[in-house]
Each structure stands twice: as structure tokens, then as C-alpha cells.
Structure 1
């Protein structure tokens, strides 16, 4: 959903989350996340690595940005477009010196 249209009180389906459409919801379901509250306590970088393992392919790193956006949102941050988290992801990956990879 477009972050500008998100209403926190109406979070029932995964597609009610900011930046999550049908494809993103399918990715989250592959990770065992069935409802927005299931994102509480999730690590977006670990989610990305698990998704790559489950699907057997490396996904675009912007998927991490989407995962950061929804985990931040579910923990109380305002809804933001996924690309607002790109710089953060790049800083974290640079600091860890760990590019996204398939385990």
C-alpha cells in the first residue's frame, strides 16, 4: 500500500502495510508472516536472507529496504516509502561488509 494511504488502526492484512502489495505479501507469507503483527521483533536483513534461501535465488537489495520499512512501521515509526531506507541499508551493509547473499 502507498505509505500516504496507510491507516495504522486498519492493519489487518499484509497489504495494509506500507509498501506491500500482492508480491510483497507473498514474500512475507513465504517467511511465515501471515498478519502485520507477525513482523514484531523481525530483523529485516535476516528476513531477506531467509527469503533468498527459501526461493533459491538472490532478490534485489531493495527488498531489504521494503522489509526495513515494514519492520520500522510495525514498531511505531511513521509510514515511509521504501526508498527512504536505501541509505540506511547501504550504511549497514558497508559497516558489516556483508553484501546480500544466499546462504
Structure 2
């Protein structure tokens, strides 16, 4: 029986994010709902050896929010949260 790719139903998950999720071994929305955007962002950088654009965190946060709540917000809704954390030093993933 083939695995249904329900991740592609999420508003902010396009081909690039699906590739990131593949690297992170996330295959389902229910699996994603158990994740933390900080942990995913940090792990993606470790797995790829590449510094990721901070907007990747925004996309992860939006996708996790939708996976948990069903509410499909645009990724840029989470940008001010990240930027505030960058300002106060609680978002430092280099």
C-alpha cells in the first residue's frame, strides 16, 4: 500500500520544504505535529552542513502550527516572532 504524502496539503510546504523534511525523515503531518521548529532548523543545518536562511524556520513554524491546529497561516506571519527572538538573543542558529 503506497504512503500518502499528506505534507503536500500544507499551505507553506512546497518542493524545497518537502526535500528538507525528507532530510529530516519527516513523512507525515502527524509526525510533523510532534516537532519543534528550533530543533528542525538546527538539525537541518547539522544534517546538510549548510547555514539555512532564517526564513526556513518561519516555514517550519507555520507548517508545524498547521499540523497541530489545522489553521493554515502564511509563513511570514511567523517572521516577526523569529526577528524578535533574533533581537533578544533567543534565536541564534549559526
TM tier relative to shorter chain? 0.7 to 0.9
The SS at the match of 2:78 is helix
Establish whether residue 53 from structure 1 lines up as the match of residue 7 from structure 2. Answer: no
Q: 1:19 aligns with which of 12, 27, 51?
A: 12
The SS at the match of 1:75 is helix
Aligned equivalents of 2:73, 2:56: Cα separation in 1? 14
1:74 match = 67
- Say if 1:84 and 1:98 are closer, same or farther in 2 by CA, change over 3 A: closer
- Report the aligned-residue RMSD: 1.7
Aligned equivalents of 1:75, 1:96: Cα separation in 2? 27
Establish whether residue 99 from structure 1 lines up as the match of residue 92 from structure 2. Answer: yes
1:34 match = 27
TM-score when normalising by structure 1: 0.79
Q: Structure 1: 5+ residue runs without aligned partners?
A: 1-10
- Say if 1:76 and 1:97 are closer, same or farther in 2 by CA, change over 3 A: closer
Q: Check conservation: 2:12, 2:63, Cα contact below 8 A.
A: yes
Q: Structure 2: 5+ residue runs without aligned partners?
A: none
